[in-house]
Structure formats: structure tokens, C-alpha cells
Structure 1
Amino acid sequence: MAVYVYAVTSRDHPCRIDGMTGVGAHGATVRVVATEELRAVVSDIAEEIRPKKRDVTAHQAVQDRLMDDGTPLPLQFGYTAPDDDAVRQVLDEQVDAYRTALARVRDCAEYNVKAAREQDRFLREILDANSRARWLNEEIRAGSEDPRLPMELGRLVADEIQQRRADAAADLAGVLVPLGREHALHPEAGDDFLNLSLLVPRDEASALLKAHEELVRERRDGTEIRLTGPLPPYSFVP
């Protein structure tokens, strides 16, 4: 029977997963497949898994339980193997890579920081600070029919917003990146101009939390800074 694989841990991880049920319509018992040096946390699966709410929740619940006793290597949702022997084969073949990856995240957790600011706030700042943009906007509002004016204003504003978002992201990253052992930048989305993951030693997380509080308190320009964590270190698993 096929197995769904949640995570890989070192052999000394306690894997306290008794009583947990996993993904799938029947929610099979979560269990361990072990080799001499590693453990994989798995459950039997009889169907193709899709990211339904129940299954995503079950997947994350296993990760959270494992995080209570040490940092695993979390696998992304949906990873399956043909059977237990196939899992053991991968663990044996990739033992050095897994050991290196486990050492990399040992005693750490991932924290994600997103920062957002409404485009309208950037636009108001640009019109206040840039005389050319202000003139173009006033001419258009006054009824100018010159088609070049909206095109120029659009290009100017787009370039200015892009630069201001980049500057704001760099400013925040400059404060936050030194607080992690490693960091990973993710693509921006919507009004978010920063999507940053940090790999933070658990005993140093208080410094990050304090820095976040100070940034939120100091920013009075409409910037929203959201901190999520501790999380399994998905962004730092090769």
C-alpha cells in the first residue's frame, strides 16, 4: 500500500505521534518507518491526495506535534511513496543529505514576516514629493486631452512605487535578517512588498519578537508588518 510521508527526523527524535490520524478519507494511523540513522513519519494512503482543508490540517498537525520535541525536515503537502521499503531506500540513499539538512535546522524554527502598504498611500506620497507627477495629475484632472500625459504619469508612478516598495523592503530586511541564522525571500503578492522567512534558533526567538513589536510601534506610515511562527522550516529544506 502507498504511504504518505510527512517528515524526516533523526533517529533520536521521540516522534510522539501516538493516537494521531493522517490524511485521506479514512485517516490511517500515523506511524514511523525507521532506518539505522533516520526516521520517516508516514501513514497509509489509498487514494490520490488533494489539498482539501481536512487533509492540509492533518498534515500540519503532524508537523506541529513533531516540532514540540525537535525540528524535523517537513515535506511539502502531497509527497507519497509506493510502500515502506521505498521510503527506507530513499532514507538510506540520501542519508548524508538528510543528516546535513537536519543539522542545518537543528533547534530552529521558521518565522515568516510579511509587510504591506496600500498603493494609494504610495501614490499620495509620490504626488506630494514629485513635482512632475503632481503637474501631470493636475493637468489630467483639469481635463487635458493630451493622451501622452496619462501614459507619462502611469510610467512615472509605476516606477516610483516599485522603487519605494523595494526601499521599504530593504529597510525592514536590514533590521530582521541579522536576527536569523538564514533567510529566504519569497515572491511578493498583492500589497505585500516583503515576504521574508527567517530560520531562527529557538532560544533566540525573543529578539525577533521584540524587533517586530518595535517595528510595528515605530511605523506610522500605514505599513502593516505581520509575523507568523514558530513554523516548521519548510523554506530551508532542500
Structure 2
Amino acid sequence: MGRSTKVSGASVPKQATRRQQNIASYLYGVVPGDTKLSRDDRGLGDPAGEVQLVRHGEIAVLMSDVNVDQPLGQPGDFLAYERLLDSVAAKAPVLPFRFGAVMANPEAVVEELLKPFHDEFLGALQELAGQAEYIVKGRYVESAVMGEILAENPEAAGLREAIRGRSEDVTRNERIRLGEIIAAGIEAKRDMDTRMLLDALASHFSTAVVREPTHEQDAVHVAMLAKVDEQRALEKALGRLGERWEGRVNLRLLGPLAPYDFVVAQEQGV
């Protein structure tokens, strides 16, 4: 283990040197062995680390050196992790590791991870071939959704009139009840609109996951696994739905991204 080993055309430092410098291997994800990296693909750290491909058989791991004396989670680390994985996902399938996956050295990556789990990783990559994750986020226009709820619920409309122009202290109970009705109303509309979105886009994704809302006025928040070369068709279909919801829901599409919601590589031995 003391000799230098070739990894992706680069010479890996001797293990004694790595230990002296407290250098370990940070893992980003598993990719096909023939994946090509661009000069812009950089890892986390300051300065950003050079990314290597540690190959075995038909698969490889995206890896960069990391100083284990420096805690992970520094400002920008998670963004760098996502930026690299999303960049690769636009051109090749990738199985992301959870943030913070570290192994001792490239040799350990091969012996403890790639060799014993080669076939499982390869099979998962083949299932993902040509696909990436896309996120659809939509947020209600506050005035529009409030107007719908007040028009549909006489109690809410009455409470709205009852508190108009009166102090919060005097109308505390009415305000609490109105807030409960509005929250329930938005939740019901979110469920209905999410089903409508999934139906409208059904032919443009292979599988989907409904994410938890990140804001009280979120209308839809869905992760989809879709073909990268059919992104334009997905955008057009979402645009048609956006036209139907104009003035009611603001929609946006994020992607292509690594398939975080659909597969996370198991860091066996990490």
C-alpha cells in the first residue's frame, strides 16, 4: 500500500504522506467509468479541490482530497458538493453519496466500495441512464389564493369582516380561527393542484416524489426523474400549465440535477 497508484491518469500520493498531511478522500458519487470531467468540475474546500475519477471495472467514484483537520460543512461546502453532482448529472447518470462521505484513500475506495458493490452500482447506473432529477416548485399568489378561500368558505369571509378595523387583542380568537381555516384551505388546494400537475406532466417523467412544502404558501413541490434529452418537452408542458395558472401560481423548473430524491449510494465502509 506504500507504492504510488495511478488513478484517472494522476499519481496518488504515498499513504504515509497522506497520513502526515491528514488527507483523506471525499466521495461525491458513483458514475460510469467512461465519464469525462471538465476543467470547471471542482470539489469542495478552499481552494476548491481537484476532482478525480477513481475507477474499477465499468464504474468510478467522483473524489477529491480533503483535509480531515478541517470540519466539513464550511460555508459553500454543500453548494460545491451539489454543483459538482448536478454538473455531472447533465451529461451522465450519477449515484450521489450523502454529504460528508469520506474514506481513507483511493485504494480503500476501490477495495472497500467499488469492488464488492460493482454490480449493484452498475445496475443502478444503467437504470438511470439518460435521466436526471427535475424539481417543479410553485407558490400561490397570496391575493389569488386568499380570494379563493374567502369565496369558497362563508365562515372565513365572515371572520374576515369581523376583524376588519378592530384591534388584534379584541379579535384574537377570530384571528386564530381564520388562520386555521386559511391553512386548511391552502393544504387542500395544494393536494389538488399537486395531483393536477402530476397528471399534466405524467408523460414526461418516469417517477415522481412529492416533497414537503418549504413555505406556507407553496402550491406544488415535486421531484421528477425525467430524460435529459426531453427537457424541452417538459418545459413546454409545464409552460402550458403555467398559462392556466397565470395570476394564481408562479411556477419554476430546476434541473437537470443529480437524483437526490430517488437514489443515494450506500457508503459501505465509509
Residue 212 of structure 1 corresponds to: 238
Q: In the TM superposition, what is the alpha-carbon distance from 1:39 to its structure 2 partner?
A: 0.8
CA distance in 2, matches of 1:75, 1:23: 14
Residue 164 of structure 1 corresponds to: 189
The Cα offsets for residues 160-198 of structure 1, whole Å up to 9 and x where unpaired, read as 222122212221222124310111221111122321111
1:86–1:112: structure 2 CA closer, same or farther, 3 Å change rule? Answer: same
Residue 196 of structure 1 corresponds to: 222
Counterpart amino acid of residue 166 in structure 1: D
1:87 matched to 2:113: no
Percentage of pairs with the same residue? 27
**Residue from 8, 32, 36 that aligns with 2:53:** 32
CA distance in 2, matches of 1:84, 1:167: 49
Q: In the TM superposition, what is the alpha-carbon distance from 1:158 to its structure 2 partner?
A: 2.8
Query: CA-atom RMSD, angstroms?
Result: 2.7
1:124 matched to 2:147: yes
CA distance in 2, matches of 1:205, 1:84: 36
Residue 107 of structure 1 corresponds to: 130
Q: In the TM superposition, what is the alpha-carbon distance from 1:68 to its structure 2 partner?
A: 5.3
- TM (norm. structure 1) is 0.84
**Residue from 53, 62, 68 that aligns with 1:41:** 62
For the 8 Å contact 1:17–1:31, the answer to whether it is kept is: no
CA distance in 1, matches of 2:253, 2:86: 18
**Residue from 8, 24, 32 that aligns with 1:10:** 32
Q: May I ask how many residue pairs the two structures share in their alignment?
A: 236
Q: In the TM superposition, what is the alpha-carbon distance from 1:79 to its structure 2 partner?
A: 2.1
For the 8 Å contact 1:110–1:229, the answer to whether it is kept is: yes
Provide the secondary structure at the position in 2 that maps to 1:2: strand
**Residue from 222, 225, 229 that aligns with 2:251:** 225
- TM (norm. structure 2) is 0.75
Structure 2 regions of 5+ residues with no counterpart? 1-22, 265-270
For the 8 Å contact 1:81–1:87, the answer to whether it is kept is: yes
Q: In the TM superposition, what is the alpha-carbon distance from 1:231 to its structure 2 partner?
A: 1.9
CA distance in 2, matches of 1:56, 1:140: 45
Residue 200 of structure 2 corresponds to: 175
